[in-house]
Chains A and B, each alone.
Chain A
Amino acid sequence: MSQDDTTAAVATAPPPTGAGAPVARVEDLHVTFRRAGADIQAIRGVSLEVGPGEIVGLVGESGSGKSVLGLSLLGLLGGSPRTSGRAVVHGTDMLTAGAAERRDVRRLHLGAVFQDPMTSLNPTMRVGRQIVEAAGSQDEAVRLLTAVGVPDPARRLRAYPHELSGGLRQRVMIAMAVAGTPSLVIADEPTTALDVTVQAQVLGLVKRLRDEIGCAFLLVTHDLGVAAQVVDRVAVMYAGRITEVGPADEVLRHGAHPYGVALMRSRLSLRTDRDTPLLALPGSVPSPARPEPGCAFAPRCTLAGPDCTTTPPAPVEVAPGHLAACVRDLAEIRAFADAVPGEEPPATGRPSAATAPAAATEAGPGAAPDDAPVEEPAAVRVQNAYRTYGVGSGIGRRRPLQALRGVSLTVARGEAVAVVGESGSGKSTLLRLVAGLERADGGTIELGSAAGAQMVFQDSGASLTPWLTIGELVGERLRSAGVPRAERDRRVAEALELVGLPAEVAKARGTQLSGGQRQRVGLARATVVPPEILLCDEPTSALDVSLAASVINLVGRLRRELDMAVLFVTHDLSVARVVADRIAVMYLGRIVEIGTADEITHRPRHPYTQALVAAVPDLGVEPPPPSGEPASPLDPPPGCAFHPRCPRATPSCSDPALDPRLAAQPGERTRLTACINLEVS
Chain B
Amino acid sequence: MSALTGGVGPAAATAGPAAAAALRRVTGVPLARLLAKRLVAAAVIVVALATSVFVLQRLSPLDPAKAMLGPGASASAVAQQREKLGLDDPFAAQLGRYLVGLPQGDLGMSYRTRRPVMTDLGAFVPATAELAFTAIVLALLLGIFFAVSTSLRWPGASVLRGVLMAGASAPAFLLGIGAILVFYKQLGWLPASGRTGITDVPGGPSGLLVLDGLLAGRFDVVSDALKHLVLPALAISFGPSVAIGRVLRTSLSSEERSDYARTARAKGLTDGAVLRRHVLRNAVGPALSMTGLQVGLMFAGVLVVEQIFAWPGIGQYTAQSIPVADFPAIAGVTLLLGIGYVVINTVVDILQGLADPRITT
Q: Which A residues are within 8 Å of any B CB, using their own CB?
A: 74, 76, 78, 103-108, 110-112, 114, 116, 119-126, 133-134, 149, 151-152, 155-156, 158-160, 162-165, 167-168, 173, 176, 186, 201, 204-205, 208, 393-397, 624-632, 634-635, 644-645
Q: Name the one of A106, A152, A394 contacting B359, with C-beta atoms under 8 angstroms.
A: A394
B260 A120 Cβ-Cβ under 8 A:
yes
Q: Which 6 A-B pairs have the closest CB atoms?
A: A107-B268, A628-B7, A149-B4, A632-B10, A627-B6, A394-B359
A121 and B260 in contact, given A395-B30, A395-B31, A396-B30 (Cβ under 8 angstroms): yes
B10 A120 Cβ-Cβ under 8 A:
no
B8 A165 Cβ-Cβ under 8 A:
yes
A104 B268 Cβ-Cβ under 8 A:
yes
B16 A160 Cβ-Cβ under 8 A:
no
0 or 1 for each of B265-308: is its CB under 8 Å from A? (1 = yes): 11111100000011001100000000000000000000000000
Q: Which of B111-119, B310-318, B350-358 contacts A (4 or more CB under 8 A)?
A: B350-358
Q: How far is the CB of B242 from chain A (nearest CB, A)?
A: 26
Q: Name the one of B10, B270, B358, B359 contacting A165, with C-beta atoms under 8 angstroms.
A: B10
Q: Does B361 contact A (CB under 8 A)?
A: yes
Q: Does B263 contact A (CB under 8 A)?
A: yes
* Closest B residue to A160 using CB positions: B357
A151 B5 Cβ-Cβ under 8 A:
yes
B356 A123 Cβ-Cβ under 8 A:
yes
Q: Determine the distance from Cα of A108 to Cα of B266 in the docked complex, in whole angstroms.
A: 11
Q: Does B198 contact A (CB under 8 A)?
A: no
Contacts of B11 in A (CB 8 A): 156, 159, 163-165, 168, 629
Q: How far is the CB of B252 from chain A (nearest CB, A)?
A: 14
0 or 1 for each of B1-27: is its CB under 8 Å from A? (1 = yes): 101111111111111101100000000
A110 B266 Cβ-Cβ under 8 A:
yes
B360 A396 Cβ-Cβ under 8 A:
yes
B265 A106 Cβ-Cβ under 8 A:
yes
B259 A114 Cβ-Cβ under 8 A:
yes
Contacts of B15 in A (CB 8 A): 155-156, 159, 163-164, 168
Q: Determine the distance from Cα of A204 to Cα of B30 in the docked complex, in whole angstroms.
A: 41
Q: Does B258 contact A (CB under 8 A)?
A: yes
Q: Does B153 contact A (CB under 8 A)?
A: no
A159 and B262 in contact, given A395-B33, A625-B1, A631-B9 (Cβ under 8 angstroms): no
Contacts of A123 in B (CB 8 A): 260, 282, 356-358
Contacts of B84 in A (CB 8 A): none
Q: Determine the distance from Cα of A168 to Cα of B39 in the docked complex, in whole angstroms.
A: 40
B268 A162 Cβ-Cβ under 8 A:
no
A394 B7 Cβ-Cβ under 8 A:
no
A201 and B3 in contact, given A124-B356, A396-B361, A635-B13 (Cβ under 8 angstroms): yes
Q: Does B177 contact A (CB under 8 A)?
A: no
Q: How far is the CB of A422 from chain B (nearest CB, A)?
A: 11
B3 A626 Cβ-Cβ under 8 A:
yes
Contacts of A628 in B (CB 8 A): 3, 6-9
Contacts of B14 in A (CB 8 A): 163, 632
Q: Determine the distance from Cα of A627 to Cα of B278 in the docked complex, in whole angstroms.
A: 33
Number of residues on chain B facing chain A (CB within 8 A): 48
Q: Determine the distance from Cα of A627 to Cα of B281 in the docked complex, in whole angstroms.
A: 36
B358 A160 Cβ-Cβ under 8 A:
yes
Q: Determine the distance from Cα of A337 to Cα of B30 in the docked complex, in whole angstroms.
A: 63
Contacts of B266 in A (CB 8 A): 74, 76, 106, 110-112, 186
Q: How far is the CB of A5 from chain B (nearest CB, A)?
A: 15
Q: Does B264 contact A (CB under 8 A)?
A: yes
* Closest A residue to B256 using CB positions: A78
A133 B358 Cβ-Cβ under 8 A:
no
A114 B263 Cβ-Cβ under 8 A:
yes
Q: Name the one of A78, A106, A133, A205 contacting B4, with C-beta atoms under 8 angstroms.
A: A205
Given A119-B259, A396-B359: 9 more A-B contacts, CB < 8 Å = A124-B281, A151-B5, A163-B361, A168-B11, A393-B359, A394-B359, A628-B3, A645-B6, A645-B7
A163 B5 Cβ-Cβ under 8 A:
no
Q: How far is the CB of B32 from chain A (nearest CB, A)?
A: 10
A122 and B282 in contact, given A395-B353, A628-B7 (Cβ under 8 angstroms): yes
B3 A627 Cβ-Cβ under 8 A:
yes
Contacts of B3 in A (CB 8 A): 201, 624-628
Q: How far is the CB of A343 from chain B (nearest CB, A)?
A: 45
A397 B357 Cβ-Cβ under 8 A:
no
* Closest B residue to A76 using CB positions: B265
Contacts of B263 in A (CB 8 A): 112, 114, 120-122, 173, 176
* Closest A residue to B265 using CB positions: A76
Q: Does B349 contact A (CB under 8 A)?
A: yes
Q: How far is the CB of B350 from chain A (nearest CB, A)?
A: 9
17 contacting pairs across A/B (C-beta < 8 A): A103-B269, A104-B268, A112-B263, A122-B264, A123-B282, A123-B357, A151-B12, A152-B16, A162-B358, A163-B11, A167-B9, A396-B30, A628-B6, A628-B7, A629-B10, A630-B9, A635-B13
Q: Determine the distance from Cα of A107 to Cα of B266 in the docked complex, in whole angstroms.
A: 7
Q: Does B123 contact A (CB under 8 A)?
A: no
A124 B30 Cβ-Cβ under 8 A:
no
* Closest A residue to B354 using CB positions: A124
Q: Determine the distance from Cα of A173 to Cα of B263 in the docked complex, in whole angstroms.
A: 9
A176 and B267 in contact, given A120-B260, A124-B356, A149-B5 (Cβ under 8 angstroms): yes
Q: Determine the distance from Cα of A186 to Cα of B265 in the docked complex, in whole angstroms.
A: 13
Q: How far is the CB of B19 from chain A (nearest CB, A)?
A: 6
A78 B257 Cβ-Cβ under 8 A:
yes
A103 B270 Cβ-Cβ under 8 A:
yes
Contacts of B13 in A (CB 8 A): 632, 635
A151 B8 Cβ-Cβ under 8 A:
yes
Of A110, A112, A123, chain B has the most CB atoms within 10 Å of the CB of A123
B18 A126 Cβ-Cβ under 8 A:
yes
Contacts of A160 in B (CB 8 A): 18, 357-358, 361
Q: Determine the distance from Cα of A635 to Cα of B12 in the docked complex, in whole angstroms.
A: 12
A163 B18 Cβ-Cβ under 8 A:
yes
Q: Does B34 contact A (CB under 8 A)?
A: yes
Q: Determine the distance from Cα of A165 to Cα of B356 in the docked complex, in whole angstroms.
A: 19
Contacts of B356 in A (CB 8 A): 123-124
Contacts of A159 in B (CB 8 A): 11, 15-16, 18
Contacts of B18 in A (CB 8 A): 126, 155, 158-160, 163
Contacts of A111 in B (CB 8 A): 266
Contacts of B260 in A (CB 8 A): 119-123
Q: How far is the CB of A183 from chain B (nearest CB, A)?
A: 14
A631 B10 Cβ-Cβ under 8 A:
yes
Q: Determine the distance from Cα of A74 to Cα of B262 in the docked complex, in whole angstroms.
A: 10
B262 A120 Cβ-Cβ under 8 A:
yes
Q: How far is the CB of B317 from chain A (nearest CB, A)?
A: 36
Contacts of B360 in A (CB 8 A): 394-396
A119 and B16 in contact, given A107-B268, A395-B31 (Cβ under 8 angstroms): no
Q: How far is the CB of A33 from chain B (nearest CB, A)?
A: 15
* Closest A residue to B18 using CB positions: A158
Q: How far is the CB of A316 from chain B (nearest CB, A)?
A: 36
Q: Determine the distance from Cα of A393 to Cα of B1 in the docked complex, in whole angstroms.
A: 38
A155 and B8 in contact, given A112-B266, A395-B360, A396-B30 (Cβ under 8 angstroms): no
Of B7, B263, B277, B278, chain A has the most CB atoms within 10 Å of the CB of B263
Q: Determine the distance from Cα of A104 to Cα of B31 in the docked complex, in whole angstroms.
A: 44
Q: Determine the distance from Cα of A133 to Cα of B273 in the docked complex, in whole angstroms.
A: 11
Q: Determine the distance from Cα of A151 to Cα of B13 in the docked complex, in whole angstroms.
A: 12
Q: Determine the distance from Cα of A106 to Cα of B265 in the docked complex, in whole angstroms.
A: 8
Q: Determine the distance from Cα of A542 to Cα of B79 in the docked complex, in whole angstroms.
A: 80
Q: Determine the distance from Cα of A607 to Cα of B8 in the docked complex, in whole angstroms.
A: 18
* Closest B residue to A128 using CB positions: B18
* Closest B residue to A126 using CB positions: B18
Q: How far is the CB of A607 from chain B (nearest CB, A)?
A: 13
Of B8, B31, B257, B353, chain A has the most CB atoms within 10 Å of the CB of B8
